[in-house]
Chain A
Amino acid sequence: MSKRLDPALAVFLALLAALIAFAAWLPAWAQSLLSIALATGMVVLGLTLLMRTGLVSFGQSLYLCLGAYAAGILNSKYGVTDMIIAVGAGALVAGVVAFLLGFLMATYRHIFFATLSLAFSMILYGLLVKSADLGSTDGFNLTAPTIMGIKLEGALSQRYKLILGAVLAAIATIGLWRYLRTPLGRLAPAIRDNELRVEYMGASVRHAVHVKYTIAGLLGGIGGALAALAVGHIDPDSMAYWTVSGELVFIAVLSGSASVIAPFLAAAVFETLRMLAHDYSPNTWQLSLGAAMLLLILFLPGGLASVLVRRSREPAP
C-alpha cells in the first residue's frame, strides 16, 4: 500500500490532461460522448466504492437525479448559470441526502440494501413525475451555462463542459485513490470479507459504510450535475427511473471495483457501445449490450479493473 501514485492512475491523469489540452480539436460528437462518459463515470466511481465494500446499490440514479435537478433548478428556475456552482449544488444536495439516508442504509446488507436503494430512487421518480412545476415526465431544458461570468455558447460551451468533467474526474480519482489508502478507506474490502473481524479490530462497520455511502452519493450528485450540463435537458425517465440504475450497475460490473480509473473507462466503453448499437441496430441495441455483458462475465469477471490492477502474488502452495 505504497503512497506512490499508481502508474495506471498517472497514465489516466495524463490522458485527462491531453483531453483538456486538445479538447478544441475533437469533433463535437466525441466531445459530447466523452462529457457524458465522464459524468456517468463519476456516478459509477461511487458505485464501485460501495461494491468494494460488498454492497450493490440498485438505486444510484437517486443521486444522479438529485445532482442533475439541483443543477437544473438553479440554472433554469433561479438563473444561476455558472457551471461550477451547478456542480457544487449537485454535490451538496446529493451529499446531504446520502448522509441522511446513510443512517438507515448502513444498517442493511445484500439484497435488502439493493432493494431499499432502489425504493428510494423510485420514490424520487414518483415525486418528479407528479411535479408539474418541474415539467413532470417531460422535464425541462437548461439555459446556456456560464463559467466564472463568461457566457458559453455552441462549441465553446461543449468544450468547457468536457474540460470541467475532466478536471473533476482527475480530482475525484486522486481523492478516492488517496482515501482508499487511509485506515477508513482500507476497511472497504475488509468489510466485504469479514464484518465480524472488523468489529473485533475495534472499527465500526456501520460508520465505515455510512461514510462510503455518503461519498458515493456525493460523487453521484457531481455526476448528475455534469450530465445535466452535458445534455442540457433533464427529465425523470432518463435520470431517476430504475433502468438508469440498472445501466449504472451494468457499467460498474464492466468496470470492476479494483481501480479508481476503470469506472471512467467503462463508462466510455459503454457509451461508445451504445452509440454504435444505436447506429447499427437501432431496434435491438439492448440485445447488443446484453451480448457484450455476457462476454464480459465470461471472459473478464473482474471487469476492466482486473486488467489495470495486477497484483503480484505467489502461487498457492
Chain B
Amino acid sequence: MSTASSRSAAAVLQARNLRKQFGAVTAAGDISVGIERLSVTGLIGSNGAGKTTFVNMITGYLKPDSGTIEFDGRDITTLTPRAITRLGIARSFQIPQLYDALSVEENILVALGTAARNGQLGPATAPRGQASRLARQQEEQALAQILSQFQLRDYRVRLARVLPQGVRKALDIALAMVARPQVLLLDEPTSGVSSEEKFAIMDMIMTALAQQGVTTLFVEHDMEVVSRYAQRVLAFYDGRVIADGEPKRVLQDDDVRRYVVGMSHAAPAGARSHA
C-alpha cells in the first residue's frame, strides 16, 4: 500500500496535517497532500470517506480542526470561500449550484460581471470614454468563448432550471471557470449523468480545462472515469488517504480494491483507529 505522501515539489496547493471531526466521525484524520501545478488529480473513496470534506476545507466551506492549507505558499486555512475564490481556487458542486430562474447566458454574465469586478479577467486598458464599450466587447467575447468551450450555445436562452442534468453539470463548471482560476475542484462531475454521456462530458470539461491551464482535482466514484482522466489518484478511507499515486497502481492496490472499489468490507490495519 502506498502512503499519503506529501509531494511538496512545485505544489500549488499544500495541505498539512488536516484534521476534521464531526462528533465521533473522523472526516479528516491527519491529511497531508501536495498538489502539483497543472496536474489532474482524482479523489476516490466510498461515501463518507472524506473526499468532499477535503474539497470543502480547501475551498473554505469548512474550517479544519487543525492543520494548514497553503495556496501558492500563502496560508488560506482560515479564509472565507469568497476570499479563496478571489485568490484563484474555484469549485463545482455535486448538485449543480446554478441560478435556476436565469437563462444560461444570464448565469454566465452574472459570473463574468463578478469576475470583472474582482479584476480576474485582466486589467482594462481602454482610454476614458471607450472603457464601457471595450468592456462590453470583452464580455461578449468571453461569453461566446465559454458557451463554445462548454457546448452551451444551443441552450443559451434556456432557463437553468429546465436544463438536462449533463448540461447543468457543464454550466456549473463553466460558472466556476469564468474567473479563470488556477485551481479547480470538481465534486463528482459525472454524477447523475447517463453512462453514455459521461465520457463526452468529461472530454469536453477536460479539454476546456487543459486549454486554460488549470490545476484540477475531481471527486469521482466512476473508476473508468478516474483511470481515463486522472494523472494521479488519492484514495480516501475513513478520513485518511490510504493510497496516492498513478491511477493504474492505486486502483490495483489491495486496500483500495477492498475499501474503495468495493471488493470486501473488512477494515485495513489501523484505518479504524480514527473512527
Contact = CB atoms under 8 A, between A and B. Distances in A.
- Tell me, yes or no, whether A binds B: yes
Interface of A: 1, 3, 182-184, 186-187, 189-190, 192-194, 196-204, 311-314, 316-317
Nearest to B159: A313
29 contacts: A3-B136, A183-B113, A183-B117, A186-B113, A187-B114, A189-B99, A193-B102, A194-B97, A194-B98, A194-B100, A196-B97, A197-B97, A197-B98, A199-B80, A199-B81, A200-B81, A200-B82, A200-B85, A200-B176, A201-B111, A201-B114, A202-B85, A202-B120, A202-B179, A204-B82, A313-B103, A316-B162, A317-B162, A317-B164
Contacts of B85: 199-202
Nearest to B116: A183
B59 to A, nearest CB: 7
Nearest to A192: B101
Question: Counting chain B CB atoms within 10 Å of each CB, which of A3, A182, A194, A198 scores highest?
Answer: A194
B109 interface: yes
Interface string B59-86: 1000000000000000000001110011
A316 B157 CA distance: 11
B162 A193 contact: no
B82 A186 contact: no
B118 A202 contact: yes
B261 interface: no
Interface residues of B, number: 37
Contacts of B106: 1, 186, 189
Contacts of B118: 202-203
Contact of B90 (A3, A198, A200): A200
Nearest to B59: A200
A316 B100 CA distance: 13
A203 B111 CA distance: 9
B159 A193 contact: no
Contacts of B126: none
B150 to A, nearest CB: 16
Contacts of B37: none
Contacts of A184: 113, 117
Given A189-B110, A199-B81, A201-B110, 15 more contacts: A1-B109, A182-B113, A190-B102, A190-B110, A194-B97, A199-B80, A199-B85, A201-B114, A201-B175, A202-B86, A202-B120, A203-B117, A316-B158, A317-B158, A317-B162
Interface in B114-134: 114-118, 120, 132
Interface of B: 59, 80-82, 85-86, 90-91, 97-103, 106, 109-111, 113-118, 120, 132, 136, 157-159, 162, 164, 175-176, 178-179
A202 B112 CA distance: 11
Nearest to B156: A314
Contacts of A189: 99, 101-102, 106, 110
A202 B100 contact: no
Nearest to B163: A317
B136 to A, nearest CB: 7
Nearest to A316: B162
B109 A202 contact: no
A234 B259 CA distance: 74
Q: Which 9 A-B pairs have the closest CB atoms?
A: A183-B113, A202-B85, A316-B162, A197-B97, A193-B99, A183-B117, A203-B114, A202-B86, A190-B110
A200 B82 CA distance: 6
A267 B243 CA distance: 66
B115 A202 contact: yes
B159 A202 contact: no
A189 to B, nearest CB: 6
B175 A197 contact: yes
B115 A201 contact: yes
Contact of B110 (A3, A186, A314, A316): A186
B218 to A, nearest CB: 16
B109 A186 contact: yes
Given A183-B116, A313-B157, A200 B97 contact: yes
Nearest to B139: A1
A197 B157 contact: no
A107 B120 CA distance: 27
Given A3-B136, A186-B113, A197-B99, A203 B82 contact: yes
Contact of A193 (B59, B100, B116, B164): B100
B115 A190 contact: no
B253 to A, nearest CB: 33
A312 to B, nearest CB: 6
